[in-house]
Amino acid sequence: MRDDELLRYSRHILLDDIGIEGQQKLLAAHALVIGAGGLGSPVSMYLACAGVGRITLVDDDTVDLTNLQRQIAHTQARVGLPKVASAAITLRALNPDVQVSEVQARANADLLERLVGQADVVLDCCDNFATRHAINAACVRHKRPLVSGAAIQFDGQISVYDARDAASPCYACAFPPGLDVEESQCATMGVFAPLVGIIGAMQAAEALKLIAGVGTSLAGRLLMLGGRAMEWDQVRIARNPDCPVCAARSC
């Protein structure tokens, strides 16, 4: 580790649970962030500041004026730019040493099949169930840990689905693919601006813990935040032995 890196990451290095060894793991890691909007902004910014060596951003959207109320990686001057390009400018300004890859595309099964296996950790920062299930399926196939977050109106949730652990549930165990779930979009439902920052920061924290091997992850637990009262609830999630996605993964 270079002298300037020792100084930049000194507050991590001072933590006994991380130290130089843990910080070196972060510097060598590759994080795949699906979505460069409300959640993807704080997620990618904290990962970059913390020194995750390579970050791949995937998003097919462009920056819109309505995004700026909460999507802190973007600026008014970048309205009309692809979100991945705008976010990459921010990340490189925060930490020039981080390698940022921009993928302006929808995260479909073919793209995820190519990208997920290259990453050490995957962060789901998207806003629809079809993409969430595609991300989960790819993470199960490639045995990559998935940090999933969601936020709408005043409510948020976060969990970790770790396919490396045969006892850990996957996203489909908690939210079966055939479940009749009403899609909620920020464009029609609204979202409280700091909520995405709270959930996104926690996603980044879980990803950093997974990379550095620190503490206990949220695998098997779903945390739900009610932002109006700022109260957290926790639900235990068991692995579904008949899950159509992960049931046969240990065979």
Whether 246 maps to a domain, the answer reads no
Domain count, the chain: 1
Domain at 217, CATH number: 3.40.50.720
Whether 61 maps to a domain, the answer reads yes
Q: Nearest to residue 70, comparing CAs of 3, 138, 154, 132? A: 154
Whether 77 maps to a domain, the answer reads yes
The β-bridge partners of 221 are 236
The β-bridge partners of 122 are 32, 146
Whether 123 maps to a domain, the answer reads yes
Active site residue 186: yes
Q: Nearest to residue 59, comparing CAs of 67, 47, 49? A: 67
Whether 93 maps to a domain, the answer reads yes
Which structural domain range is residue 218 located in? Answer: 12-236
- pTM equals 0.95
Summarize pLDDT for 218-235 with one digit per residue, the tens.
999 999 999 999 999 999
Could you read off the pLDDT tens digit of each residue along the chain, which spans 251 residues? 899 999 999 999 999 999 999 999 999 999 999 999 999 999 999 999 999 999 999 999 999 999 999 999 999 999 999 999 999 999 999 999 999 999 999 999 999 999 999 999 999 999 899 999 999 999 999 999 999 999 999 999 999 999 999 999 999 999 998 775 555 565 667 899 999 999 999 999 999 999 999 999 999 999 999 999 999 999 999 999 999 999 976 54
Whether 129 maps to a domain, the answer reads yes
Joined tokens for residue 40? 């993807």
Backbone angles phi, psi at 35, to 5 degrees: 110, 125
Options 125, 126, 173, 186, the catalytic residue: 186
Whether 204 maps to a domain, the answer reads yes
Whether 26 maps to a domain, the answer reads yes
3-class DSSP state for residue 115?
A: helix
